[in-house]
Amino acid sequence: MTEHTGMARKHAAGVSIENVNLYYGKNHVLKDVSLVIEPGEFFTFLGPSGCGKTTLLRLIAGFGNAKSGRVRIGGNDVTALPPWKRDVGMVFQSYALWPHMSVRRNVAFGLEERRLPKPEIRRRVDAVLELVGLSELAERRPSQLSGGQQQRVALARTVVVEPQVLLLDEPLSNLDAKLRVQMRQELLELQRKLALTTIFVTHDQEEANTTADRIAVMDAGVVQQVGTPAELYDKPANRFVASFLGIANILDGQLARENGTAVFHSKSGISVPLSASQIPDRATGESCSIMFRPQSVATQPAAAPDSRAGVTMNGVVRHREFLGNLIRYAVTVGESVILVDDAHKPNQPSFSVGTEVRLSLATAQVVVLTG
Amino acid sequence: MNAHWGQRVAALLIAAFLLLFLVIPVVQVIFVAFQAPATGAFTLVNFQDFFNTSLFREAFWNSLYVAVMSVLVATLFAMPLAYFTTRFEFRGAIIVQTLGIIPLIMPPFVGAVAMQLLFGTNGSINLLLEEWFGINIPFMEGLNGVIFVESIHYFPFILINLSAALNNIDRAMEESAQNLGASGIRLFRRIVFPLAMPGYVAGASIVFLKVFDDLGTPLLLNVNTLLAPQAYLRISSIGITDPMGYVISVILVLFSLFAMWIAALALRGKDYGTEQRGGGGLAKRRMRPWEGILSYGVIGLILLLVLSPHIGLTLLSFGTIWSFSVLPDGYTITHYLEVFEQSPQFVTNTVLYASLAALIDVTIGTAIAYLALRTKIIGRKWLDYTAMAALAVPGVVLGIGYLRTFLGVHLPWSGEPLSNWWVMLVIALSVRRLPYALRACTAALQQLSVALEEAAENLGAGKLTTVRRIVVPLMVGGILAGFVTSFATAAVELSTTIMLVSRESDAPLAYGLYVFMQTAAGRGPGAALGIIAVVIVGVAAYLSHRVIERGHKARGLADEY
C-alpha cells in the first residue's frame, strides 16, 4: 500500500513533551509532564477518566493552552503553532464526521485544505478508502454507516493527509466489544503498514497492552510510569500502576535488614525474605509496601507437608469466584486478605469457602513498591 | 391493552370538536373556492378571475415580496446577534439573547403605528436625519413599512433557531476541521455554516409563514394590496358570498403548507446537534479590542432598533400630542384613564377570552397527548395531526370559515347568528392556539416514565385515578407552559378576531386597539391598550417562568426518570 498511497516513512517523527503544566481554571490538570515518543512508535496514554490523558493528547494537536512547557514534533517546537499548522492527524472519540458531507468529501477535506491538485486528491482518497475497505461506500453520508465503518472513515480522513503523528482519542470506545477487538487489530496493522508515529489514548488496559509498544500510565495529571506492557505489569513502580494494570495483592509494612539479606514484615504479621536485587536503594529501612500477583501464590490443603519453596502461610478461604480458566480465592491470612488464582482444569478438586488452606508465595516474583 | 371506555369517550369528544371547529370550516372555505358562485358546480373559474384581476395579481406578488424581504431583513438582524453571542466570549450574551426575544411578546400590528411615528416620513428619525444630513429615508413607505415592522417582530424566530443550531454543533466537528488544516473564513464556510443551515431554514420559514399570513400589520399601516387584507376587505365589504375571499384563503393555506414543508424538510434527518456524542457548542474565542467595539456597536444598534416599537408605543401612550416632532410635546396618563373609564371591557374581555381559550387548549392538549402516547386507541395519531394542522390555517381563513359555516345557524334564545356569539371567538382562538399547548403537553408527558403510572396501577389505582393523581400533577409544568403560550398569543390575536367580532361590547383588546388606531385622536388610548397588552402578556410569561422553575425544583426526583 505504501507505494501507491505515497504515505511514506519519511514522515514518521518523534514527539517530545517537556515539563508541561496545564490548568483548567484552578484545576491543575497536567503536572510537569515530560515524555519522549520515538519515531514510528505506537505509544499509549493509559489512565482512568480525568487523569489528563486526553488533555495531553489535545495539547499535542494544538487544542488548549499549557501554562508552561514545550511540545516538539520531529525536533521542531510547535508550542505556539495553531492546530491547523501542526501537521498532526487526530481521530476524535466521537469521530466528528461532518454529517453534511459524503464519505468522499469528508476524506478529501484535509487534502483540499492543503490545496492539492484535484487529480491527486482523487487518487489519494481512492487509495485510502481502499486501504480501509470502504471504496464501495464513498458516496454515502456518515449517518448511513455503521459504527465500525464510521471509525474507518475517521481514520482514513486523518491518515490521507500523511500527518507526521497520528493521535487517537479513545477511538474504539464507541464500538461494541467484538468489533473493538477486530478494529484494534486493523488499527495496529495500518499503523505498522504506514509506519506512523501513533499516540493512542485509552482507559482500557487490555486495549493498551495489546496494541502499544510502550505505555505511559497517568493518574491525577502525573505520568506514573513509562514502559512496555510487560514491564509495567511485572515491575510496577507504585501502588497505582500495580492495581490499575491487573489484580494486585499489596501488603504494607517495614523492610528490615538481617544478616546481609532483607526481610519484609507486613503489619498483619507476614514476613517475606527478599533478595538484594528486589530492593530499591531508597526503600531500605523505611516503611514500604510489597506487591505480588494472585498467580504468584500457590495453594495446598492445610494439612499437606511443607514441600514448596518460598514463604508459606495458612489461611481460610472467604470467597471464591469461578472464572472459567481459573478460580480466584480470597484467603484471609491473619488480618490480610490475599487473592490467589488457581488454574482450573476439569475434574480437579478445588477449595470451598471456609476451608483452611496453605499458601506458598514465590518470593522472587514479589515487587517492592516505592510509592 | 384494551382502550378504557373513558378514553374512547374523550377521543370521540375531541374528534367532534376538531371536526366541527377546524376541519369543517376550513374544508368549507376550500370547497367554496372551487365552486361556481351561481350553480355550485366544481370550477376553476374563481382562480382564473383572481389571476385576471390586476389588483389581486399585485396583491399576490406584493405578499410574496414582503414575506421574502422580511425574511432577508430579519436575517440581517438575527445573524450578528446569534453569531457574536455563540462564537465569542461575549459579556452580556444572555442579556442580548433575552432582549432579542422580547419582540415576540408583542404582535407586530401593536407597534405598527408607533413605528410610523418614529420612522415615518415625518417621524422622529427622519426629522433628525433631515436636520443633520438633509436626507429622508422611506423606512415606512408602503410595502417598506410592512417589511420593516414584520422583520423587527419576527426575527427572534431566526435568532432562536440559529443560536440553537450553532450551540448544538459538536465542538469536535470544528476541531477536526482545524486539525486537517482549515481555519478562519474557510472553516466557517465549509463546516460551521452548513451545519447551522437547517436551524436557519427552519426559523426563516416560520418568519415567511407569519408574514405571509399577517393581517393586522398591513391593515394598521393602511397597506391593503396584500393577500390577507384583500381577503378581509372582500368579505367585510362585499359579503360572505364573494368567492375571491375564498380563493385568497386557499392560496394562503397553500403557502403556509409550503413553508411548513420546507421547515420540516430542512430539519428532517439533519438533527446534527444530537447525532454524535462529544463536547457541545463551538469553541468560544476572546475578541480583540477592535472586534469588541465593532460587535457591541452593531448589537447595540440592532437591539435599539428591535426595541423601538416598544419605546415608540410607550412614548405614544404617555404623550400628549406627537406630530411633526422628534418626541411628544408633553406627557400625561389621560390615555390610560380614558381606556379604563370608557372601554374597560376590552381588557376584561381579553383576559376572559384568552383564559377560556387557553383552558380549552390545555384540556384538549393533555387529553390528546395522553391518548397519543399512552393508549392504543385507533386514530390517536390523527387527533394529534389534525390539531397540529391548525398551524397551517391563517387566522383570516379560519375567520372566513366560521362566518361561512355558522352564519346560518342561529342562537335559540336571541336569534343571533352563531358566528356573532362571543363564545365562537373563544373557540376560534382556542383552535388557533391548540398546537402550542399540545406540543407543550406532549413534551411534558414524553418525559414521564411509564413506570410511574404502572406503579400506581400496580398498587390498585384505576386508569382515571392514575391520570388524575399521577399523570396530571407530574405534567403540571408542561401544562402551565402550554396555558401561558396559548393565553399570551390568544390575548393579542387580531386576524380571526377582526372577522368574528360583531360589536364593540364583545370585543377584546386587539380589536379595540385596531379601532382606536384608525383615528389620530385614538392613537393615544390605542397605544395605552397596546402597553396594557404587553404588560398582560409579559406578566403571564414571567409567572409561568417562575412556576415552572419552582415545579422543577419540587419535582427534582421525578425528573430523574
Q: How far is A344 from chain B (nearest CA, A)?
A: 42
> What CATH number does the domain containing B449 carry?
1.10.3720.10
Residues B308 and B391 in one domain: no
Residue B427 falls inside a structural domain: yes
Residues B54 and B203 in one domain: yes
Residues B233 and B196 in one domain: yes
Percent of all residues in chain A with a pLDDT value above 90, rounded to a whole number: 43
Of the candidates B273, B279, B176, the one whose C-alpha atom is nearest the C-alpha of residue A168 is B176
Distance of alpha carbon B29 from alpha carbon B243, whole angstroms: 9
Distance of alpha carbon A199 from alpha carbon B431, whole angstroms: 61
Domain boundary residue, one of B265, B292, B327: B327
How confident is the model at residue A331, as a pLDDT? Answer: 94
CB A20 within 8 A of CB A32: yes
Per-residue pLDDT of chain A (371 residues; tens, 9 = 90+): 344 444 444 567 899 999 999 988 888 999 999 999 999 999 999 999 889 999 999 999 988 888 899 999 988 999 988 888 888 999 988 888 888 889 999 999 999 988 999 999 999 999 999 988 899 999 998 888 988 899 899 999 999 988 999 999 988 887 888 888 888 888 888 888 888 899 999 999 888 999 899 999 999 999 999 999 999 999 998 899 999 998 999 998 888 876 667 888 888 888 888 887 777 765 455 678 889 999 999 888 887 776 666 788 889 999 999 998 899 999 999 888 999 999 988 888 889 899 999 988 888 889 988 76
Distance of alpha carbon A209 from alpha carbon A274, whole angstroms: 29
Task: Enumerate residues 263 to 322 of chain B having a beta carbon within 8 A of any beta carbon in chain A.
Answer: 269-270, 272, 275-278
Distance of alpha carbon A339 from alpha carbon B331, whole angstroms: 88
Residue B398 falls inside a structural domain: yes
Residue B428 falls inside a structural domain: yes
User: Would residue A172 be called left, alpha or beta, if left means φ above 0 and alpha means ψ between -120 and 50 degrees?
Assistant: alpha
Domain boundary residue, one of B293, B327, B361: B327
Residue B384 falls inside a structural domain: yes
Residue B454 falls inside a structural domain: yes
Residues B106 and B47 in one domain: yes
How confident is the model at residue B151, as a pLDDT? Answer: 92
Are B181 and A110 in contact (CB < 8 Å)?
yes
Residue B276 falls inside a structural domain: yes
Task: Give strand pairing partners of A343.
Answer: A326
Q: Residue B188 belongs to what domain range?
A: 40-327
Question: Within 10 Å of residue B24's Cβ, how many Cβ atoms?
Answer: 17
Q: The complex's ipTM? A: 0.77
Of the candidates B413, B395, B407, the one whose C-alpha atom is nearest the C-alpha of residue B249 is B395
The string of DSSP letters for B195-255 reads HHHHHHHHHHHHHHHHHHH--HHHHHTT---SHHHHHHHIIIII-TT-HHHHHHHHHHHHH
Q: Give the 3-state secondary structure of residue B285.
A: strand
Q: How far is B557 from chain A (nearest CA, A)?
A: 27
SS3 assignment for B101-125: HHHHHCCHHHHHHHHHHHHCCCCHH
Of the candidates A17, A13, A12, the one whose C-alpha atom is nearest the C-alpha of residue A71 is A17
Q: Which residues contact A96 (CB under 8 A, 6 or more apart)?
A: A154, B170, B172, B173, B175, B176, B276, B278
Residues B319 and B352 in one domain: no
Run of H or E including A44 = strand A42-46
Residues B418 and B490 in one domain: yes
- The label of the residue with cell 382556542 reads B430
Q: How many residues does chain A have?
A: 371
Residues B295 and B376 in one domain: no
Per-residue pLDDT of chain B (561 residues; tens, 9 = 90+): 455 778 888 899 999 999 999 999 999 889 888 888 777 788 888 888 888 888 888 989 999 999 999 999 999 988 888 888 887 777 777 777 677 777 777 778 888 888 888 888 777 888 888 888 878 888 888 889 899 999 998 888 888 888 888 888 888 888 899 999 888 888 888 988 888 888 888 889 889 998 998 888 898 888 888 999 998 888 888 878 888 888 888 999 999 888 888 888 877 755 554 444 444 556 677 777 887 888 888 888 888 888 888 888 888 888 877 776 777 777 777 778 777 777 788 888 888 999 999 999 999 999 999 898 888 888 888 888 899 888 888 888 998 888 888 877 877 777 777 777 888 899 999 999 899 889 888 888 888 878 888 888 887 777 788 888 888 888 887 888 888 888 888 888 888 888 888 887 888 888 888 888 887 777 888 888 888 888 888 888 777 777 666 666 555 444 333
Distance of alpha carbon A30 from alpha carbon A32, whole angstroms: 6
Taking any CB pair shorter than 8 Å as contact, residues of chain A touching chain B are: 61-63, 82-86, 88-90, 92-100, 109-110, 113-114, 143, 157-158, 161, 174
Residue B515 falls inside a structural domain: yes
Q: Give the 3-state secondary structure of residue A166.
A: strand
| Chain B CB contacts of A83 below 8 Å | 175, 178-179, 183
Residues B470 and B548 in one domain: yes
Distance of alpha carbon B215 from alpha carbon A122, whole angstroms: 55
Percent of all residues in chain A with a pLDDT value above 70, rounded to a whole number: 93
Distance of alpha carbon B4 from alpha carbon B375, whole angstroms: 9
- Name the CA radius of gyration of chain A, rounded: 25
Residue B334 falls inside a structural domain: no
**pTM score of the predicted model:** 0.77
Residues B496 and B528 in one domain: yes
Domain boundary residue, one of B327, B361, B379: B327
Of the candidates B392, B390, B383, B403, the one whose C-alpha atom is nearest the C-alpha of residue B28 is B403
Residues B232 and B318 in one domain: yes
CA-nearest residue to A90 within chain B is B179
| Chain B CB contacts of A98 below 8 Å | 173, 176-177, 191, 194-195
Distance of alpha carbon B478 from alpha carbon A226, whole angstroms: 55
Residues B351 and B264 in one domain: no
Distance of alpha carbon B389 from alpha carbon A102, whole angstroms: 35
Q: How many residues does chain B have?
A: 561
How confident is the model at residue A190, as a pLDDT? Answer: 86
| Chain A CB contacts of B266 below 8 Å | none
> Angle at which helices B523-554 and B472-491 pack, to 10 degrees?
170
| Chain B CB contacts of A115 below 8 Å | none
Number of domains in chain B: 2
Q: Which residues contact B557 (CB under 8 A, 6 or more apart)?
A: none
Question: Within 10 Å of residue B441's Cβ, how many Cβ atoms?
Answer: 28
Residues B322 and B408 in one domain: no
